Amino acid sequence: MKIRASNKLLNIIFAINAAVILILDQLTKYIINNLPQSVFPIEVIPNFFYIIRITNTGAAFGLFQNRTKIFIIISIIAIILIIVLKIKMNLKIVLYNIGLGFVLGGALGNLVDRITREGEVTDFLHVVFFAVFNVADSFIVIGFGIIILVILKNFFKKGAV
């Protein structure tokens, strides 16, 4: 079932989602960064999920370390593209706007870190055999997942978005 809404409501949903994700991301990073290093790792699910604290000056999986200016520029471009995509596509599908808000909130969360923490992003969620990540990263992935599902559903239903 596709839920449609007015442009005003969709803009509110988009903005609130982005703001909530940004606040949640920054709040969790604030808490993690103010805990003494001696409490880490915190075992949440034995042998599977831990809370640790690392800083990352690169991209996903620690790639391209110490390229702060490039990542700030890329983040700003991505944020602008998200907003342009929101305006130009003007999809009146609630889930699409939720997903786009998640991606924007996550992008803003990591950008705030890069600007205020000398290029470092705090990562703290560690699933064994996977990269360490944060709330912003999680919602970027979840948001893109939602967007892809909405687009695919519409593509297969109508033959085009």
Q: Which of 137, 139, 146, 150 is catalytic?
A: 137
Lowest mean pLDDT of 21-25, 40-44, 154-158, name the range.
154-158
Q: What are the beta bridge partners of residue 143?
A: none
Domain boundaries, the chain: 13-158
**Is 113 a known active-site residue?**
no
Q: What is the pLDDT of residue 125?
A: 98
Lowest mean pLDDT of 55-59, 62-66, 110-114, name the range.
62-66
pLDDT tens, position by position, 42-55: 999 999 999 999 99
Q: What are the beta bridge partners of residue 50?
A: 43, 126
Distance CA 123, CA 106 (A): 13
Q: What is the pLDDT of residue 4?
A: 66
Distance CA 6, CA 8 (A): 5
Distance CA 2, CA 25 (A): 29
Q: What are the beta bridge partners of residue 43?
A: 50
Q: Which of 102, 123, 143, 147 is catalytic?
A: 123
Q: What is the pLDDT of residue 81?
A: 95
